[in-house]
Amino acid sequence: MNAELWDDATFLAKLREVGGNSYHDRHPFHLAMNAGTLSPEAIRGWVANRFYYQANIPIKDAAILSNCPLRDVRREWIDRIIEHDGTQGEEGGIESWLRLGHACGLERAAMLEHRDVIPAVRFAVDAYPTFCRTQPWPVAVASSLTELFAPGLMAKRLEAFKLHYGWVQPWGFDYFSRRLTKARQDSDCALKLTLAYCNTVELQRAAIHALVFKCDVLWAMLDAIAIKFPPPPVA
């Protein structure tokens, strides 16, 4: 029996199901972070390794743009690169993450040079721009839909840092605060494009697999970080 094209409501439900099953907010390292049980070394290790991911976000977005022939879509998607890379006078998300590192006691030069990136984290993150470069652009867009699940995670993360990690300077929390609203705006844009342009059975199924892949990237990163900085069990 041939597969059928999902309507928008069913397609969206399938996408959200991926997050419910696979999003990294359930990873033991994240649970320990929110519970306030991570050591300063573990927090610094997470910030340094996560920065490698942050630094690659505009690269994967540029890969999506390079494959997209539609001017109106490119005009909309390019805002993501500007948001992370920043402009003169508004330095963007990468600079905000560097401030978080500084607030944790990390050296800026070490972060920019990715000196402390775990090899498995590098391998997982590098797979993401490669995926976006080699897949049809609507499928690559769908891989970014982890943003659907990000606002709730970000709110819990911000609360946990303020409550449990008083040694981190609060002026470093700008990235978390910004993403509370920006992640929702970004996910609305990506979802609109995914629903509109993943308009065949093959593209819809590929979009689901793309989102699973992205969840796997984020989970694999935390697996590697947790091996190097083992979190205590969460009761």
Is the pLDDT score of 197 beyond 70?
Answer: yes
pLDDT digits 0-9 by tens, 36-91: 999 999 999 999 999 999 999 999 999 999 999 999 999 999 999 999 999 877 78
Summary mean pLDDT of the chain: 95
Taken in order of first residue, the domains within the chain and their CATH numbers are 8-228 (1.20.910.10)
**Residue given tokens 């998300």 in the structure block:** 93
Q: Which residues, in sequence order, are CB contacts of 193 under 8 Å at separation 6+?
A: 73, 76, 77, 138, 141
pLDDT band at 1 (very low <50, low <70, confident <90, very high): very low
**What pLDDT does residue 183 have?**
83
Give the mean pLDDT of 162-181.
92
Are the C-beta atoms of 92 and 82 separated by less than 8 Å? yes
